[in-house]
Structure 1
């Protein structure tokens, strides 16, 4: 499902490639993988006494894990937005952001992808920060050249300057 980035704080930005891969994974889990587990449960059930049947209990446990994975993926995909953000220099989900700490040189800059953690396997070597993380929340909406402040994990005020904000490319 694709929805506007502005429509909900619960929106999860995913690249088109990540969205396609997660959709394919969901189809596999709901189809062939679910059938494999149902077959294993059925075969174990045919062995007799279920109370002492380790294979049956293992297959049922596997089924529970699978259903949890399916529910999580369905939730992510329901909230997914794969809209490519504008290349306008404003920090937003779906952007690769380069920043530096106040007082650091430009060569000490750090770069991350502002997106949901579900993007991590698809982000290459980039760190992925959530828009809800302290640095992600502080930088969201900032423009290249802006300096923003946020409270770090130790309670200390941290100042960072946005050097670059460009759309992520698969």
Structure 2
């Protein structure tokens, strides 16, 4: 099984979600199933079927998180010397050469990606175009709207 790159923060968020699922949601679902069973005939018991479906989703998510954490390659860039190179976990500030617009992205694992928080997946076109580049490099990134030219104006390992 291959390893999945993940930031230390991303791993911590997954561990917190796993704890919530196991210690809060799972017991509530088990209680709901027991309560629904007391209502009698299980064939036509919508509450029972809904609770079982919730249990299935919950257990699936628990297995998914446990699998990801067991195969996670946790990378903490705060413990690495900043040499200005764009790597996994780095926060990169880009200047759109055409519009003079600045944007900062943090390159994270697939599960952590959230474009609204400027967290982009290592597998996104922007991240793939940036990995390995250095401060002051000019890169051309293929976007749905065409090729965009960016200058890397800052690289932080935070």
Structure 1 and Structure 2 fold alike (TM over 0.5)? yes
**Map of 1:146-165 to 2, 5 A cutoff?**
146-154=137-145, 156-165=146-155
Matched residue, 1:119? 112
CA distance in 2, matches of 1:83, 1:129: 15
CA distance in 2, matches of 1:35, 1:126: 32
CA distance in 1, matches of 2:67, 2:149: 35
The offset of 1:14, in angstroms, is 2.0
8 Å Cα contact 1:88/1:166 also seen in 2: no
The offset of 1:120, in angstroms, is 5.2
Q: TM-score, normalised by structure 1?
A: 0.77
CA distance in 2, matches of 1:119, 1:83: 13
The offset of 1:11, in angstroms, is 2.2
Where does the alignment leave 5 or more consecutive residues of structure 1 unmatched? 1-7
Matched residue, 2:5? 12
Matched residue, 1:81? 73
8 Å Cα contact 1:111/1:126 also seen in 2: no
Q: TM-score, normalised by structure 2?
A: 0.83
The RMSD of aligned alpha carbons is 2.4
Matched residue, 1:56? 48
- Which structure shows the higher strand fraction? 2
CA distance in 1, matches of 2:73, 2:84: 20
Among candidates 85, 93, 100, match of residue 95 of structure 2:
100
The offset of 1:78, in angstroms, is 2.7
Matched residue, 1:133? 124
